[in-house]
């Protein structure tokens, strides 16, 4: 539940920033990226769609994506994502609690994009 709220709040922030935050707007202005964050069992999932400046979202795990952060369980996802730090993400991956499907370079892009707003 907490993870759903976090993902929803993150999307809200992305959406508002896409209208108001100049640096963020510039950063996403040319990108076409579909980024999914989900748990392995698919119970929690949110897609972030960036299309040359426009952003949109969808819930559910079965969307096409460029990269997906796949978390072993929602608690870990919540605590690591809240920390917003690369070491925590790295450790989660090293401990088998997180994997990236698709191309991880898009996850790095998403991280860089959100660093403009978080």
Partner 1 sequence: MSKIYGGHLAAKYLKEVEHVDMVFTLSGGHIENILDGLTEYKIKTIDVRHEQVAAMMAHAWSVYTNKPGVCLVTAGPGFTNALTGIVNAHLENVPLVVLCGRHPLRDDLKGALQEMNQIDMVKPVTKWCATCYETKRIPEYLSIAFRQATMGRPGPVFLELPPDILFEEVDEKTVVIPKRRTHKTVTQPGKNELEEAARLINQAKKPIFLGGSGVGMSGCGDILEKFIEKTGVPISLVNYGRGVLSDNHPLSVNGGGFTGLNAGLPVVDVIIAAGVRFNWLLQCGQLFPDAKVIRIDIDPHEIDRNRHADVGLAGDVGQVLGQLLPLVEKRDHSPWLKSFKNAYSAFMTSELEKRKTPSDPIHPIRLVEQIMTVFGDDAFYVADGGDTSYYGLSGFASKHQGGVQTPAGGLLGCLGTGIPFALAAKLAHPDKPVIVLQGDGSFGFNGMEFDTAIRHNIPIICIINNDCAWGMIKHSQEVSLGANRLTCSELGMRHYEKVVEGLGGYGELVTIDAEIIPAIKRAVASGKPACINVMTDPTVTSPATVFFYQSFSEL
Interface contacts to partner 1, rule CB under 8 A: 26-27, 29-32, 70, 86-87, 90-91, 93-96, 98-109
Q: Are 117 and 43 in contact (CB under 8 A)?
A: no
Closest CB to partner 1 among residues 40, 59: 40
Closest CB to partner 1 among residues 15, 102: 102
How many Å from the N-terminal Cα to the C-terminal Cα in the chain? 21
Closest CB to partner 1 among residues 79, 86: 86
* Smallest distance, partner 1 to C-beta of residue 67, A: 9
* Smallest distance, partner 1 to C-beta of residue 78, A: 19
* Smallest distance, partner 1 to C-beta of residue 99, A: 4
* Smallest distance, partner 1 to C-beta of residue 24, A: 12
Helix (H) or strand (E) holding 83: helix 74-83
CA separation, residue 79 to residues 51, 60, 83, 89, 116 (Å): 29, 21, 6, 10, 20
Burial of 12 (0-12, 13-18, 19+ CB in 10 A): exposed
Of 82, 100, 72, nearest to 7 by C-alpha is: 82
Closest CB to partner 1 among residues 2, 105: 105
């Amino acid at each position: 539940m907490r993870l759903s709220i976090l993902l929803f709040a993150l999307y809200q922030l992305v959406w508002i920033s896409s209208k108001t935050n100049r640096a963020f707007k510039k950063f996403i202005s040319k990108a076409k990226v579909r980024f999914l964050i989900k748990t392995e069992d698919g119970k929690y999932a949110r897609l972030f769609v960036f299309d040359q400046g426009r952003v949109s979202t969808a819930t559910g795990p079965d969307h096409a994506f460029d990269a997906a952060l796949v978390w072993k369980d929602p608690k870990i996802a919540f605590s690591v994502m809240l920390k917003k730090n690369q070491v925590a993400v790295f450790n989660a991956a090293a401990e088998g609690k997180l994997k990236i499907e698709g191309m991880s370079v898009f996850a790095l892009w998403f991280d860089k994009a959100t660093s403009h707003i978080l």
